[in-house]
Structure 1
């Protein structure tokens, strides 16, 4: 992050993102705009968490406004826009990376600490697997190096005549003697011989012939051989004492170490409490701890929501089944009631028909006198009905 970006971010934190707006300008950004940091709306911005640490993720150019976060959490679209899923995926990737780092450092520590322990023993008894692998590596490098050196040395054979005719017989005999005893010389002498040959034969001989450009090219190649010689010197030193670098590491790491299970850093076992507290209070350690706690919290909430959704679905299903069962029982009850009504109606029809039949049979068997009595009763009833009607008519006329 450049100095300008740092100053801009500091001003945003002190004066707000609208520090350059005109007076009366109330055009506030909404939380769904592209230039608003969605991670900050959900919980926090990982770029800000790891700023100025070894795990720095770079500068986040988006807006980090607490007012927009509050506005988002109070809106009806809270947790409906997919911001939480994107944020969880991002911090989960960071947590996976630090977990891989922890595993890598633990494997590294498992390989180095047993070597240190065995190399620090008096007398050097008990060769470890790491020491055996180191010796095998040195032997393999030496066996691969000798054929290469021989081929390079043989490539110098055409230079022998050039050197001899140019008045450098001593170099010629030096080449012959060196080549004749090449395989019998120690590795460090072979390196010195080849380095001298490339420096003298290729550079000075070509320079004596007037080929200045080619001589310069050989000098540049000689520099490469110097670098190879330095590497060979280190290899020879290791071959003379294979456990020397292990002993140096043992001196540096005289105390056993462990890997922090939060941030993956190396820590001394039984270190002073002040350094342990400083590590736990470090920005990077606290950032990874917050990421892990946030992941656990969000996973717990998601699990609770999932269980709550399942419980609601079960309750709705049971209510729906209960309602369907009640509706089915009510329909059956209505059907039974209609059937009972039809039965009662049929019974009434049967009773009516039976009474009518009985009345018809009784009417046919009555005597003429009885029929006359019935007719008189009917006439009297009709007269009374007619008299009452006439009285009502007179009363109506009088009232009018």
Structure 2
């Protein structure tokens, strides 16, 4: 039986297309360019100024890449991340970068997520505030402590006057009364401290809110647990975002964003009102990166 022979061109031509018909789903899964053969044309490359390109990715780090696999995972970025365009931006001179003005896009994107985080921090802080009954008890104790302090001060003055007048017995009686007032004042101060330590829905755990990422932390946590938080992906992501935002605010101060013929809205176009330093300081109060307790530097 004679064997048929095929030329090399015939084999390549036949292997370039599948030997059986494929469904649309199969074509999509395998990739249209792969099935189209070596002569097919590729999709056109986007230009660096195309609104579909993620400008945060070009300038720095896209917020969508900061929180993957965390509780704040933002999902995939709807814009295009192109390494070639990022390299083009990095190699451009300062004059060209100022003309593009992509830093303003980056700053606006970060501001959006920083504002969202700050709202979560405020909401979490309100959940830790005292109940109306705890506020009433605190005010009552403060009032009693204030009255006792005034009575003690007046009593000491009276004892001094009685001593100068020679009324020793009356002065001694007043002295013992003042001692009772001091003891009562110390008791009320201990009650106030106990109420402060245990007030709020989770006061017994001594919870506070991280000033950078909004997570709950406890003063009872050991150093290992605190380190796990402060070096965790979510905390470091927000710390990096706040620090970068604050630096961009300084760098772009006095500069106006370029005028573009692009639609306004999420991640497109400009609104000068978006740039005024409303929020986004590092640690919300502008200091440090380990914000804990909304006011401080330091760990607590």
Structure with more helix by fraction: 1
Which structure has the greater CA radius of gyration?
Answer: 1
